[in-house]
Copies of this chain bind each other. A is one copy, B any other.
Amino acid sequence: MSETLQIALAQCNFLVGDIVGNCDRIIAEAATARTRGADMVLFSELALTGYPPEDLLLRPSLQPRIEEALHRIAASSSGIAIVVGFPWREDGRLYNCAGIWSEGACLGRYAKQCLPNYQVFDEQRYFSAGYQPLVVDYRGHRLGLTICEDIWHQGPIDQCVGAGAELVLNLNASPYHIGKHDERVSLLKEHTSRLGVPILYVNQVGGQDELVFDGASFAMAGNGDVVLQMAEWNECQADVCWNGSLLTAVSANAALPESELASLYQALVTGVRDYVNKNRFKGVVLGLSGGIDSALTLAIAVDALGADRVEAVMMPFAYTSDMSKEDAALQATKMGVQYRSISIAPMYDAFMESLAEKFAGMARDTTEENLQSRCRGVLLMAISNKTGYMVLTTGNKSEMAVGYATLYGDMAGGYGAIKDVYKTRVFDLANYRNSIEPVIPQRVIDRPPSAELAPGQVDQDSLPPYPVLDAILESYIEQDMSAEAIIASGFSREDVMRVVRLVDINEYKRRQAPVGVRVTRRGFGRDRRYPLTNGWKAGV
């Protein structure tokens, strides 16, 4: 009879590229796990580099840095086996690897077989695929290694179990999107029901540019029961025991967020917090307009960074309603952030006067609206430059999709908190946040959305109602439906063709947009690579 193994799952927030720092962290976490009595500790995919390292993988000094880190890990593996992911170059090829170190020796190295090259993933840009399983004998147990995408297919895990694995370790860097955790659990259940083998699923946590990783690592017994569930959005460790036939939890289960909305809100908070902190910004500054987008963004920023690292600026003009001014001040006070109001009228007037000769005889159009927005953008950027606070942008996905945003105006900034959140969901999130503590004035939620760039302007003057708009957008962008298919699903041809055309022609704006938290299956970042110069005619 083989002894019982206590295995720790370490769910960490690594900094991409900081190999030395990540290695320090891994060694410290291993020591903690050993203190708790763990025999083995699992880290996530490419833990040494963080994920995704992108073109850092092409740097010539990568391999010596990795080798040095692995020497240190080997030297720290006495009394506890360390399972960790790292890139590895051999015979001129780079592999996405995982290895097991114990008592100073490497017990085996596995190369990922399935390399995702879709959506946000570019792994075939960097890696060659492995082709064989790794099953390691450790204290009388046969443990199989797999990495992330491997488990989204049948081949590698079947092969691993075929090679004798009794317990499968799966190292992940699996980005969040709404509903992702349930997909992972269902997927693993398919494997356990087919193979009867238990699986340990360990994921990284935290934000990296557009991607947020929810963590939510878990352990599934051979019968498909989730015996251990770890937290979403937090770094943590937890242990399971494996006696060769039974997988049991040692640590208590974490409570997952009570709803998809709660989880989504945490995703946005995590994305903002990690972008700002990992890039060492002192804080953030944002334009608070009295509208719902900036109101929600302010709440996210305060929840991410604390009120003392957030500054809000109201920048009124002739079309700014009193309601907007009152509500902005009200929320800023309520949330305890630094707040000031700076009118854009003097700048706007100076521009228009200087352009009067050039614009003589030409009609008023969106130029004047964009100019208002750009005066605001320049003001915020000046504050940012002077104070070291990053500008947080407030645009939502519906706007980014149809181009209802001004380049170098409201699009100016370092990071977008809600750029992948449709307007209808912005309302849901505002209500959700208020249900915990009412911080957003109710009037901001109830009033008809308006950019307030012209007298009496409301968004619905020129766009379909948001529920219609968002449904069309989701069909087109996330479900990749053709215009004809969307029409056939029950929308008016006029609405669909107008929306789809707006999405297509506004790619140039999105290309210059700041990065921001990705929370859907298809964000506007690495997910969606459309040409700017483009003769495609949608739906014709």
Interface residues of A, Cβ cutoff 8 Å to B: 15-21, 50, 52-56, 58-61, 117-118, 122, 124-125, 207-209, 274-275, 278-279, 340, 342-344, 346-347, 349-351, 353-355, 357-359, 362, 365-367, 370-371, 374-375, 377-379, 381-383, 385-386, 407-408, 412, 414, 480-482, 484-485, 508, 511-515, 526, 528-537, 539
Contact of A414 with B508 in the complex, beta carbons under 8 Å: yes
B412 touches A385 (CB 8 A): no
Taking a contact as CB atoms under 8 Å apart, the answer to whether A342 and B366 are in contact is no
Contact yes or no, B54 A377, CB < 8 A: no
A59 CB to closest chain B CB (Å) equals 7
Q: Are A381's CB and B408's CB within 8 A?
A: yes
Top 7 closest pairs, chain A to chain B, by CB: A18-B535, A17-B536, A367-B385, A15-B535, A408-B408, A346-B350, A350-B350
- Kindly report which residue of chain B lies nearest to residue A384, judged by CB atoms: B367
Question: In the complex, are the beta carbons of A21 and B535 less than 8 A apart?
Answer: yes
How far apart sit A511 and B207, CA to CA, in the bound complex (Å)?
A: 18
Chain B contacts of A52 at CB under 8 A? 531
- Contact of B536 with A59 in the complex, beta carbons under 8 Å: yes
Contact of A533 among B209, B349, B371 (CB under 8 A): B209
Question: When chains A and B are docked, how far (Å) is the Cα of A354 from the Cα of B512?
Answer: 28
Q: How far is the CA of A527 from the CA of B5 in the complex (A)?
A: 46
Chain B residues in 8 Å Cβ range of A340: 357-358
Alpha-carbon distance between A370 and B377 when the two chains are bound, in angstroms: 12
Which of A125, A371, A533: most chain B CB closer than 10 A? A533
Report Cα–Cα, A344/B351, bound state, in Å: 9
Rounded to whole angstroms, the CA-CA distance of A108 and B408 in the bound complex is: 51
- Give Cα A58 to B477, complex, Å: 11
Q: Is A367 in contact with B347, judged by CB distance below 8 angstroms?
A: no
Residues of B within 8 A of A485 (CB): 60
Q: List 13 A-B contacts (CB under 8 A).
A: A16-B535, A18-B536, A56-B536, A122-B529, A278-B535, A342-B358, A344-B354, A346-B353, A347-B350, A374-B382, A511-B515, A512-B514, A526-B529
A476, closest chain B residue (CB): B59
Contact of A382 (CB < 8 Å), options: B346, B371, B414:
B371
Q: Tell me which of B349, B386, B407 contacts A359 (CB under 8 A).
A: B386
Contacts of A275 in B (CB 8 A): 533
Q: Is the CB of A534 within 8 A of B17?
A: yes
The smallest C-beta distance from A78 to any residue of chain B, in angstroms, reads: 28
Determine if A535 and B17 form an interchain contact, defined as CB atoms under 8 angstroms apart. yes
Specify the chain B residue showing the minimal Cβ separation from A386: B367
The answer on a CB contact under 8 Å between A531 and B56 is yes
Instruction: For residue A360, give the distance in angstroms from its CB to the closest CB of chain B.
Output: 11
CA distance A535 to B480 in the complex (A): 35
- Are A531 and B53 neighbours in the complex by a CB distance under 8 Å? yes
